[in-house]
Amino acid sequence: MILDFDAGNTRIKWRVVREQGVDVLDSGAFNFNSNDELKYELKNIYQSFKNICYIRVASVRGGQFDQLFCQACFSQFNVRAKFAEVKTKGFVIEPAYDDPTQLGVDRWLSMLAAYTVCRKSCAVVSLGSALTLDLVDDKGSHLGGYILPGIRSMQQVLGYTTHAVKVDTLNCDGDIAPGKSTVTCVRNGLSLMLKSFIYEAVALAEFSPPVSIFASGGDAGFLSRQLFDRQELKIEVYCNLVFEGLAIAVPLP
């Protein structure tokens, strides 16, 4: 069995898959606050899956965390974790960055998975603690991307920096009409911002419609609700896009 980890900025997601095929046997997520908490979570996974023979990791945390995580995995499973790295050769996606090591591995893996699915130009959007958008052309070349604060991060900033603008939940329905209350002003404003951002980015890339937009991250469903009305945009929501890219980038030996 294979144990995959996606160590993002906020949470660490995991899944267990069979060595043959992509059948997901179990999955989950946990927050990382201490070494003891990490050991506890790994032990819980081990209780259910003692026959882990391969561990793959996509981590944006780097440095000390990666070393600590590798040691914890070996201690619990007696398996050396394999960490995905952004590659400039040997894979279909060619990073646009002058220094590819600065490109988040989660973004690269998501592009790799998305292009493997569609084999044509596409936009890859991740909506989590950060909002990222990357553009890939027909040949698999990365044209570049954008990084913004995540939707919920923007909402929270309003609450921190203003006295009266408080929105507890983010149940947006895609309405972009001018708001008639503080709540609808915030929600509709975020909807308008997200729609405009996606449309303009795709327009600048001059992709031929319909354009496939691969959405992932905790707020990916929010994106699909915002763009359902545009026929020239084809929304694909993939909850496990990073994992799918991880399986391509770190294949079994």
pLDDT by residue (tens digit) across 61-70?
888 999 999 9
Where does the chain have alpha helices with state H?
35-48, 63-77, 105-118, 151-161, 182-205, 220-226, 241-249
169 and 64 assigned to the same domain: no
In a domain, residue 40? The reply is yes
Kindly list the distances between the CA atom of residue 63 and the CA atoms of 91, 196, 250, in Å, as whole numbers in the listed order: 24, 36, 19
Query: Against a cut of 0.85, is the pTM above it?
Result: yes
Which structural domain, as residue segments, surrounds residue 143? 100-247
107 and 69 assigned to the same domain: no
In a domain, residue 181? The reply is yes
Considering its fold, how many domains does the chain have in total? 2
170 and 222 assigned to the same domain: yes
65 and 114 assigned to the same domain: no
pLDDT by residue (tens digit) across 9-67?
889 999 999 887 678 999 999 988 888 999 999 999 999 999 999 999 999 988 899 99
225 and 193 assigned to the same domain: yes
237 and 190 assigned to the same domain: yes
In a domain, residue 220? The reply is yes
